[in-house]
Copies of this chain bind each other. A is one copy, B any other.
Amino acid sequence: MGYELYYHASIQGRGEFVRLALEEGGASYTDIGRQLAEQGGGQQAVLAMMGDAGGDRPPFAPPILKDGDYLVSHTANILMYVGNHIGLAPADEQQRHWLHGLQLTITDFIKDVHDTHHPLSNALFYEEQKDEAAAANEKFHELRVPKYFGYFEIVIARNSSASGWLVGDALSYGDTSIYHLVEGMNYAWPKRWASVAGNYPGMCQIRNRVAARPNIQSYLASERRIPFNTNGVFRHYPELDR
């Protein structure tokens, strides 16, 4: 059987946090948006899961994970749900909510990343809000990156297991998410990131350890991995990376 992931086929976006966890956890899953329409996949199949569809528990937006007949949505909620089932989350209730809170902090950061190119509205193109985006981008690098990443460094340093992982003594979906943050920063703002990455040794170490995992290496080398591009959440616009 396995899981079904419903997410846009052409971008990493928020779905990439889910893909990375499923891949690292060795879960059997189908990335429905990337299947052929003739096989019941494609963007139409993704859209059909939303709002008006979905039975008595209709999801609001992708990413959506289907587990049997059950649909779960919101990136952090999916990770918390599935993390328990594929060995990427702690068993203890309080530790589970601690990790989930960290993932929700990542969710908030990703909204800030999004707002560097879409501060006004999703209904406008980047090109229609470039001035506002440039202003938001400056504030993002001045205030938000140090605030969030400085916080994650404290969390990693204070982990009572001293494991170097985000939570507890084992890799969790939080670590695959930190990996994605570092990769995203390096793609979208290579110059800016190169100048500040040294401030975040704990995150960079997690990035390196996750990158070395066999399941992640297989994934990155496969056609399942969608390259970063300027339709996703992390976008490289040279004018925003001085």
Contact = CB atoms under 8 A, between A and B. Distances in A.
A120 to B, nearest CB: 6
15 contacts: A51-B154, A55-B158, A56-B159, A56-B160, A57-B155, A58-B151, A72-B98, A74-B100, A74-B105, A77-B100, A111-B111, A119-B132, A121-B136, A123-B143, A132-B132
Contacts of A111: 111
A222 interface: no
A97 B80 CA distance: 9
A70 B93 CA distance: 11
Contacts of A139: 120-121, 123
Q: How many copies of this chain does the complex contain?
A: 2
Interface in A50-74: 51-52, 55-60, 70, 72-74
Nearest to A138: B121
A76 interface: yes
B94 A60 contact: no
A126 interface: no
A135 interface: yes
Interface in A154-172: 154-155, 158-160
A105 B77 CA distance: 11
Contacts of A81: 93, 97
Contacts of A121: 135-136, 139, 143
Interface of A: 51-52, 55-60, 70, 72-74, 76-77, 80-81, 93-94, 97-98, 100-101, 104-105, 111, 119-121, 123, 132, 135-136, 139, 143, 148, 151, 154-155, 158-160
A151 B72 CA distance: 16
Given A51-B154, A80-B97, 19 more contacts: A51-B151, A52-B154, A56-B160, A57-B98, A57-B155, A60-B101, A70-B94, A72-B94, A74-B104, A77-B100, A77-B104, A80-B100, A81-B93, A111-B111, A119-B119, A120-B132, A121-B135, A123-B139, A132-B132
